[in-house]
Amino acid sequence: MNDPFGDLDATALAALVRDGETSPLELVDAAIARVEATNEVLGAVVTPLFERARQQARDPALPRGPFRGVPCLWKDLGCHRAGDPLSMGTRLLRESGFAPPTDSLLAERFTAAGLIPIGRTNTPEFGLTVTTESTALGPARNPWNPAHSTGGSSGGSAAAVAARVVPIAHANDGGGSIRIPASACGLVGLKPSRGRVSLGPDFGDQWHGLVCEGVVTRSVRDAATALDAIEGPGVGDPYAAPRPTAPYRQAMHLRPPALRIGVLRRRLVGDAPVHDDCQAALEVAIEALEALGHRVEEAAPEALFEPQAPILFEVLATTHAARIVEEVALLTGTEAGPEHFEAYTWHLVERGRAVSGAAYIGAYEWLQTWSRRVAGWWGDHDLLLSPTLASPPIELGLLSDSGASPLEHLARVFEYAPFAAPFNITGQPAVSLPLFWNGDDLPIGVQLAAGAGREDLLLQVAAGLERARPWADRRPQICAATPKAA
């Protein structure tokens, strides 16, 4: 198959449509062919929406947004459209054939941008862990090495974008679920500020403000343009981030002044070392940032190291796990029990059910005051640089339901991904960037976190790093794009 589209980002594909050099249907058909060529190995797409996508591509009323005619994928958790099946990675919903009766606001905004979803992507059960290998959907495999995890919980989306199946895919993040798979798969993964992207009309917030919506992409410009398309409050939202003063796709081209950037090298809890490959990725990032004129120093908020924070984060996560199981039981008319869910999920549910209402409110209030202690550090600094993960992408099976006990699983989650969840708690924006590959050709991401509402600054710095250390031409083992001519 001669497919000239796979290596192009969403911005470039939209330009081809706009200039009349191709059609939305041609792009959709090519993307569907890439799914069919790779998905048996990748396991990235779990619900094809091919015919609806072709119908949408043929529609002359297809919105003329910035990504008009560009095929994409939506994670099988959140971002729903009326009539499309939605499983949230769990067997009960998948077997019931559940389909939401209405569109989410995010789906409406993606559609208004001109994006065409061709399927839904793999996710762990309810997005509750950092690898994508549920018993309901099977594993998503890392295109850089299919024996390794894609990360989670947006692992199917990340696998598909990294493998050039589509240039952009929906992702969401309650404790790192955009940034973790972006790191594991060599992508740009921007977690927006709390309240930047509405969760309406179904939710005012999720996980009491921990969850936000976004995308994974291969280019910074696609991340910026997507954020322009989906940002902004919805009717009745409980809070909203300050609106940007200029479109992100314009702001990202501005060169920021010399910034003061702190570096976080060690774990927030415990004495286990951060992997040498992740330290090497930090050194590459520091060198690039200094070459761009920024001041980089060993500094981080002291509050990040308070051991109570991850304990109380777990209180919020487990109680909301208990709540979502109740919701699924109602949707399916089932008296949900441990036989219906994975052992790790049920372990979290039981922990959540044991939390009193007063303890829940106490955890939330403590994390709010802790967030103020963390955020105050940005009064003297502009960005915080850290590894995204504490090790290279793990092998499949290390965190699977059949491998580790629930307690082991939970301990390994915090061991593998200690740097992401703090910024879900504080609500600050953070981005993972693919600046380094180790000796096994596995991507190692670095994370930059900014003050609340400063996605513009993150995108400016990310664009500078992309120019300094471009990654677009790096191709994984499993790659759906036609190889470039020599």
Residue 475 resides in a domain: no
**What's the pLDDT score for residue 486?**
42
Tell me the two tokens of residue 259: 């910034």
Residue 476 resides in a domain: no
Residue 381 resides in a domain: yes
Contact 130, 388 (CB under 8 A): no
Please name the helix (run of DSSP H) or strand (run of DSSP E) that holds residue 162, with its range, or none.
helix 155-162
Residue 486 resides in a domain: no
Tokens 């777990």 correspond to 314
One-letter amino acid for residue 384 of the chain = L
**What's the pLDDT score for residue 2?**
73
Residue tagged active-site, from 177, 183, 371, 400: 177
Residue 1 resides in a domain: no
484 catalytic per annotation: no
Report CA-CA distances (Å) from 252 to 171, 228, 255, 275.
21, 11, 8, 31
Nearest to 434 by CA among 143, 4, 39: 143
Dihedral over Cα of 28, 33, 35, 36: its sign: positive
104 catalytic per annotation: no
Domain that holds residue 318: 10-468
Burial class from Cβ neighbours inside 10 Å (0-12, 13-18, 19+) for residue 32 reads buried
Residue tagged active-site, from 153, 157, 193, 432: 153
**What's the pLDDT score for residue 418?**
96
Residue tagged active-site, from 75, 87, 154, 191: 75
**Residue 268, helix vs strand vs coil:** coil
Q: What is the pTM of this model?
A: 0.97
Q: What is the CATH number of the domain that holds 450?
A: 3.90.1300.10
**What's the pLDDT score for residue 484?**
62
Over the chain (486 residues), the average pLDDT of each successive run of 10 is 89 98 98 98 98 98 98 98 97 95 98 98 97 95 98 98 98 98 98 98 93 98 98 96 96 96 95 96 98 98 96 96 96 93 94 97 98 97 98 92 73 93 98 98 98 98 98 97 65
**DSSP code, position 272:** P
Residue range 385-434, pLDDT digits in tens: 999 999 999 999 988 765 667 878 888 899 999 999 999 999 999 999 99
Residue 18 resides in a domain: yes
Report CA-CA distances (Å) from 229 to 58, 59, 68, 178, 382.
22, 21, 12, 18, 26
In 340-470, alpha helices (H): 343-353, 357-375, 406-416, 422-426, 455-468
Residue 362 resides in a domain: yes
Q: How far, in whole angstroms, is CA 12 from its chain's centroid?
A: 22
Q: How many domains does the chain have?
A: 1
Residue 106 resides in a domain: yes
* Rounded-to-integer distance, Cα 485 and Cα 149, Å: 30
391 catalytic per annotation: no
